[in-house]
Structure 1
Amino acid sequence: MSELIKLHNVSLKAADMVEEGRVHKALYSDPAIFEQELDKVFNHTWVFIGHESEVPEAGSYKTAWVGRQPVILSRDRKMNLHVLQNRCRHRGATVCEGRKGKTKSFTCPYHGWGYALDGELRALPKPEEYEGVLDKAELPLMRLRHESYRGMVFATFRDDIEPLESFLGGAKKWIDLFMKQGGGYPVKVLGEHRFNFPGNWKIQLENTTDAYHFPIIHKSFVSSLDDATADIFDFLHGDGFVEDLGNGHSVMVMIPELIDLEADLDQPIPERFSELAVALREEGRSEEEVKRLVRAAHGTGFNLNLFPNVSCSMAFFRVLRPVSVNETEIQHVALGGEGAPLPFNRKRMRLHEHFQGPMGFGTPDDGEAWERVQKGSLAGTDGWILVNRGMGKLRQSADGNVAGAVCSETGMRGAYRQYKKMMAAAEE
């Protein structure tokens, strides 16, 4: 294929722009390709919607997106979950604008059509005008197929898609490990913040499986740490690895000793967590529980990327939403333990704020880099972006998957392999 690809050449297939070891910059900047992605990727796979703890009671809801389509995750009076299109069946207005909350029903603000928590159409003004022309039972809010794994809720527009657990495949092992950071308590969403950056969604898809950038971009974060903690984050020359888990998923293990938070609980408590340990002991917690909670407080030693829109990133969820070809919304979700001691959840929040928070060290630095990648995608005639680091030093993991060094781009290649497969299938 030619080294030069003109962005206006719409006859060129997006799948041809992904090769093993490189992708074309047009994937970041071509509006036509972006529109294809919304349908062929986001409308044809499992997309992360939220965590069950965000809708804890009957009547709880949260709004979310599948690509660019607004949806509602709700819990009805029988505590069943539903994922509903956020669109009235009458004239198409959204029926819910709040990010999350509690309600008895969803009512369209335009003409007052009312829907139950399960999406059923229950009421409409002037019903006599619809006699003989409308059956309410035939006009519920459109429902999406949804399934959960370890409290993580995914939805899809496809009824014929493989079960969620099959799609997650090798990632399930890592989700199980990630959920141990509740410290013996169920994982719970503590809060969130959102921001938009002027760049393509795939730039973010790459970032959470990219350890290579960490010591360069995040110098300010490392400089804010004590010496012992800074040593932990000096992981590029360590025993970490990136493993391709299939279906576009990957795991990047930066700190191997923190893979399983329930292992090695007899290790001494680090100085930086001494205040937390004291607070837990003052509450009357046993020494075994103190050690379990302290170890879980800082999160796991890995980032788990789940294609196409969520990362279980050390101690939080990072959720991406494609807005346009050059704009992406990022949602950072802080996690703690349901019913866990207050000092534990408070410590989790402070650590989240230190790196991921709006005033933290990590988010502004990452955002600057993502924006520069988007700007750079418009420059020059050499249109290829390299994702070939570590290709010559691959090995087989203990689970039989392809793996590379922690600074390899193994995870990116896995994500783009799934992307290419979905876009190619769409173009046939």
Structure 2
Amino acid sequence: MTDFASLVKDDRVHTALYKDAAIFDEEMERIFKNTWVWVAHASDVPAKNTFKTSYVGSTPVIVTRDKDQKVHVLLNRCRHRAASVCEKGKGKTSVFVCPYHGWSYGVDGALRKVPHAKGYEQELDKDEFSLVSLRTEEYNGLIFATFKQDIEPLADFLGSAKKWIDLFMKQDAGYGIKTLGEHKFRFPGNWKIQLENTTDAYHFPIVHKTFLDSLDAETEDVFDVLGQGGWVEDLGNGHSVMVMIPDLIDLEDNLDAPIPERFAELAQELRDEGHDDATVRRVVRAVGGSGFNLNLFPNVACSMAFFRVLRPVAVDETEITHVAIGMDGGPVAGNRMRLRLHEHFQGPMGFGTPDDAEGWERVQRGARAGDDLWIMLNRGVDAPEGVAEIGHNAGDVSAETGMRAAYQQWKRMMTA
């Protein structure tokens, strides 16, 4: 039996966490089947009979909205012989039909029809063979599911992170948030390597030098993430926030400030469309995204201006989904600019994502060199005074506070 507690110390974790397949298998059971896991945004299932396929750890699920507007998260597995009943990423339907033997289910998971049912010796109890439904709750548009029926309410699990979710959603400029599209890729590395990255400002000026070089001088100053008095804060339950641009924490603040030169053209386009000055300023300020990354343990980040979702595939393989977000019903020009900014950094041909993925792959490769070495997470000096919530552990923006928070939650769950 693995001694999980011995693998996580206060300031370091053992390399085995990246490469031991047996540990990975235990993580899928002890963590991903025992906590709240993000599965979708509410705008992914905007109307009755809409659905999106997703995962809870390694388990395929379908997120649906029924005719009464209730959201369900259903195991994507026919109750007959286990075939998946939905392979489409997103869409609209009133029924899921298993392609193997034709069993059909409603979007609420109820078994509707069994072909040639007389072939069974006794009449099937349809209620007994519905699609398995997970406990599902939502906070400010974020939909989570869990296998654990007696778990604490989602709001309690999120705790202090709720404040930061609310701030992140102000990117809607008052219109509401909607997903604009997504792209997926895989890297040959452990899921926790990416989890660490979300609150790692230390790497930014090094790994993302090409991105910084691509910016105009004004924007480059904005992205001087190590020089603006930011911080990293442990929010409890493995969650953390990394504030890189304190001036962009609350997008409803400072709306009277001069419009940045890089958004001057957008501002004029919005004025030409007839938007008043208050709307123009609100939209322009929202377009650039928030000034922080919020890590929600174990699988999703609200990262400046997009959702980053990780899915563990194997001990040395992880799938990443980048979800672009915009304003639901907001100006077309504003959402177009958000997509262009997303493409510039997060997109598959952007300046940020390929460099990040190269770093993650190198970590996994290097982890094979030495079985008894440790991953160091001891970086950090005190956060600027008065910025973090009282009683919270916090460090300066380049601290590894968020990583330590995540691994302490990992330790709690793996030893529970």
| TM-score, scaled to structure 2 | 0.98
* Deviation sequence 1:50-73 (CA, Å, 0-9, x none): 101011111110000011100000
Residue 310 of structure 1: aligned partner: 300
Give the 3-state SS of the residue equivalent to 2:221 in structure 1. helix
| TM-score, scaled to structure 1 | 0.95
Residue 81 of structure 2: aligned partner: 91
Residue 301 of structure 1: aligned partner: 291
Residues 270-419 of structure 1 mapped to structure 2, 5 A cutoff: 270-390=260-380, 397-419=388-410
For the residues of structure 2 that align with 1:155 and 1:133, how far apart are their CA atoms?
32
For the residues of structure 1 that align with 2:106 and 2:339, how far apart are their CA atoms?
35
- Structure 1: give runs of 5+ residues left out of the alignment: 1-10
For the residues of structure 2 that align with 1:391 and 1:253, how far apart are their CA atoms?
15
Q: Which moved more, 1:394-403 or 1:42-51?
A: 394-403
* Deviation sequence 1:237-274 (CA, Å, 0-9, x none): 32100000000000000000000000000001011001
For the residues of structure 2 that align with 1:173 and 1:130, how far apart are their CA atoms?
54
Match of residue 231, structure 1, among 221, 238, 241: 221
For the residues of structure 1 that align with 2:371 and 2:62, how far apart are their CA atoms?
43
Offset of residue 14 of structure 1: 2.3
Q: Which moved more, 1:386-395 or 1:191-200?
A: 386-395
AA at the equivalent of 2:402? G
For the residues of structure 2 that align with 1:24 and 1:236, how far apart are their CA atoms?
28
Q: Which moved more, 1:394-403 or 1:253-262?
A: 394-403
AA at the equivalent of 2:259? I
AA at the equivalent of 2:2? L
Change over 3 Å in CA distance of 1:256–1:393 after alignment to 2: closer
- Structural RMSD (CA): 1.2
For the residues of structure 2 that align with 1:104 and 1:63, how far apart are their CA atoms?
15
Give the 3-state SS of the residue equivalent to 1:161 in structure 2. coil
For the residues of structure 1 that align with 2:14 and 2:389, how far apart are their CA atoms?
33
Give the 3-state SS of the residue equivalent to 1:210 in structure 2. coil
For the residues of structure 2 that align with 1:392 and 1:270, how far apart are their CA atoms?
31
Residue 8 of structure 1: aligned partner: none
2:70 counterpart of 1:80: yes
Q: Is the 8 A contact 2:135 2:149 kept in 1?
A: yes
Offset of residue 392 of structure 1: 7.0
Offset of residue 390 of structure 1: 1.1
For the residues of structure 2 that align with 1:312 and 1:392, how far apart are their CA atoms?
24
* Deviation sequence 1:188-228 (CA, Å, 0-9, x none): 00000000000000000000010000000000000000001
For the residues of structure 1 that align with 2:118 and 2:163, how far apart are their CA atoms?
56
* Deviation sequence 1:344-365 (CA, Å, 0-9, x none): 1101100000000011000000
Q: Which runs of 4 or more aligned residues in structure 1 lie more than 4 Å from their structure 2 counterparts after TM superposition? A: 391-396
For the residues of structure 2 that align with 1:381 and 1:107, how far apart are their CA atoms?
48
Q: Is the 8 A contact 1:395 1:403 kept in 2?
A: no
For the residues of structure 2 that align with 1:381 and 1:421, how far apart are their CA atoms?
24
Residue 150 of structure 1: aligned partner: 140
Q: Is the 8 A contact 2:117 2:123 kept in 1?
A: no
Residue 104 of structure 1: aligned partner: 94
Percent of aligned pairs with the same residue? 63
Change over 3 Å in CA distance of 1:391–1:236 after alignment to 2: closer
AA at the equivalent of 2:410? Y
Q: Which moved more, 1:122-131 or 1:275-284?
A: 122-131
Residue 219 of structure 1: aligned partner: 209
Q: Which moved more, 1:384-393 or 1:350-359?
A: 384-393
Residue 26 of structure 2: aligned partner: 36
Residue 246 of structure 2: aligned partner: 256
Q: Is the 8 A contact 2:383 2:397 kept in 1?
A: no
Residues 182-197 of structure 1 mapped to structure 2, 5 A cutoff: 182-197=172-187
Q: Is the 8 A contact 1:106 1:115 kept in 2?
A: yes
For the residues of structure 1 that align with 2:317 and 2:389, how far apart are their CA atoms?
38
Residues 238-253 of structure 1 mapped to structure 2, 5 A cutoff: 238-253=228-243
For the residues of structure 1 that align with 2:60 and 2:197, how far apart are their CA atoms?
25
Q: Is the 8 A contact 1:395 1:402 kept in 2?
A: no
For the residues of structure 2 that align with 1:81 and 1:154, how far apart are their CA atoms?
10
Offset of residue 381 of structure 1: 4.5
* Deviation sequence 1:257-302 (CA, Å, 0-9, x none): 0000000000010110011101111110010000000000000000
Q: Is the 8 A contact 2:63 2:73 kept in 1?
A: yes
For the residues of structure 2 that align with 1:128 and 1:57, how far apart are their CA atoms?
36
AA at the equivalent of 2:216? D
Residue 420 of structure 1: aligned partner: 411
Paired residue total:
415
Give the 3-state SS of the residue equivalent to 1:43 in structure 2. coil
2:109 counterpart of 1:119: yes
Change over 3 Å in CA distance of 1:63–1:245 after alignment to 2: same
